[in-house]
Amino acid sequence: MVEYLREEDGKTKIETRYYISSLTKNGEEFAKIIRSHWQVENSLHWVLDVQFNEDKCRIRKDHSAENLAVVRHIALNLLKQDKSVKVGIKNKRFLAGIDQNYLMNVLAKI
């Protein structure tokens, strides 16, 4: 059991998270493992959620959700690889939507 303290909208919230593991680690080592997991989770999934609105996607039928997730990952990786403009992912997506030459430049990296 891990109690997690966070502030949201100026209010302090305490969440309790439960983990099941066969590891024999002390509390400090286990905390490092948990932080490491959430660091990876937040660094990748935060971008997908915020920039691609992944959590708001209502697609659920058959394998469509998994397929769209793969497309989002490909798009994110292509946009990250593009160094022709120095803007964030959100602006790169917008630019690809309005400038066909930029879109072709990004897609040419495949």
Over the stretch 60-76, which tens digit does the pLDDT of each residue have? 888 888 888 888 888 88
Phi, psi of 30 (to 5 degrees): -65, -40
Going from the C-alpha of 52 to that of each of 10, 49, 83, 107, the distances in angstroms are: 27, 6, 20, 18
Give the pLDDT of residue 28.
Answer: 85
Over the stretch 80-92, which tens digit does the pLDDT of each residue have? 999 999 998 889 9
What is the rounded average pLDDT of the residues 40-61? 76
Token pair, residue 107, equals 């897609």
**Domain chopping of the chain, boundaries:** 26-107
28 vs 96, residue with greater confidence: 96
pTM for the model stands at 0.59
